[in-house]
Amino acid sequence: MPELPEVEVLVRHLAPRLKNKMIRGIHVRRARVLRPTRPAALRRMLTGSRFVNLVRRAKYLCFMLQRADGGTFLLIGHLGMTGRMFLQPADAPLPKHTAVALDLGGENFVFEDTRYFGRFTLDTSMQGRLGPEPLGDGFSFEYFTHALKRSAQAIKVKLLDQSLVAGLGNIYACESLFHARVSPRLAACKLTRAQRERLWSAVRRTLADAIRFGSSMPLDWPGTGELDGLFYYGRAAGATGPQEPLRVYDRQGQPCPVCQTPIRRIVQAGRSTFYCPRCQQI
């Protein structure tokens, strides 16, 4: 479900709603998502702590908490493929695939994840392996050029490498390559300067546009509404608005929005890639 834009929109939604709230208790229904933190350790740290801030790093949610004694620490969340996080009234039943729920008094903060690939942990070690934020200053054109220079791997696969640039997933990697008119099969070191410039810009524009899109409508955070679809941005009941602006992802066989050539699906590094074979030639 979540790539950088979905996590960003979620963080903006949750941050003001969690700020200063105290955790009264914690239910761990699926200890696997805590790895390597143990349930007792998480309970000891969280119970009695308050949320002081929430920020996004790549696809991770970084909850900053403060204990009663004043000490602060980080809780790291990741939505995996199917995770959701939302607040619901204390008397509402927890969803079937609730992994963790935090008792905030009048409401529960729920981490629900059908496939349980997500994380809810005190382990921060993955942060050191992440590349720069694609929308930040660290992801300069010079950095991008240097990072692609010596790799013969397909550019699509490189865009999914979180140590190169952190936050792109399968959807936005495909969409960015389409916007840049670069073939996903092109070896990273074979991109021309013009192609690198287009792709560098397209990555940033595609992500920024998705954040804007996700921010522009009321969203169905628990995903229980009928309009919940492929994407995190299931519209809240009764909401109207533009269609999700994906041009090639999950559209194999459908006409390219630019040239009408059927969109093609191939497999790279075990993941589907969608592209227009005419607009994105090698």
Partner DNA sequence: CACCATGTTCCTTG
Partner DNA sequence: CCAAGGAACATGGT
Residue 52 C-beta: closest distance to DNA, Å: 25
Q: What is the dihedral of CA 194, 195, 199, 202, to 10 degrees?
A: 60
For DNA, give the closer residue by CB, 49 or 63.
Answer: 63
64: which strand partners?
53, 74
Residue 219 C-beta: closest distance to DNA, Å: 13
- Which among 249, 185, 281, 182 is positioned nearest to 3, based on CA atoms? 249
Residue 104 C-beta: closest distance to DNA, Å: 26
CA atoms within 13 A on the CB side of 179: 22
Residue 107 C-beta: closest distance to DNA, Å: 24
The yes-or-no answer on residue 21 being catalytic is no
CA distance 241 to 37: 41
Choose the catalytic residue: 56, 59, 181, 251: 59
Choose the catalytic residue: 12, 21, 265, 271: 271
Question: 132 is written with which tokens?
Answer: 């720069």
For DNA, give the closer residue by CB, 89 or 128.
Answer: 128
Question: 267 is written with which tokens?
Answer: 């497999």
Residue 152 C-beta: closest distance to DNA, Å: 5
CA 250, 157, 246 angle in degrees (round to 5)? 25
The yes-or-no answer on residue 158 being catalytic is no
The yes-or-no answer on residue 271 being catalytic is yes
Residue 268 CA: distances (Å) to CA of 69, 131, 166, 262: 50, 21, 19, 19
Q: Which residues bind to DNA, rule: CB under 7 A? A: 1-3, 6, 32, 58-59, 78, 80-82, 96-97, 114-117, 126, 129, 151-153, 157, 160, 162, 169-171, 230-232, 269-272
For DNA, give the closer residue by CB, 16 or 36.
Answer: 36
Question: 169 is written with which tokens?
Answer: 């997933």
For DNA, give the closer residue by CB, 82 or 215.
Answer: 82
For DNA, give the closer residue by CB, 49 or 144.
Answer: 144
With a CB cutoff of 8 Å and minimum separation 6, the contacts of 259 are 276, 278, 279
The yes-or-no answer on residue 3 being catalytic is yes
**Active site positions, annotated:** 2-3, 59, 271
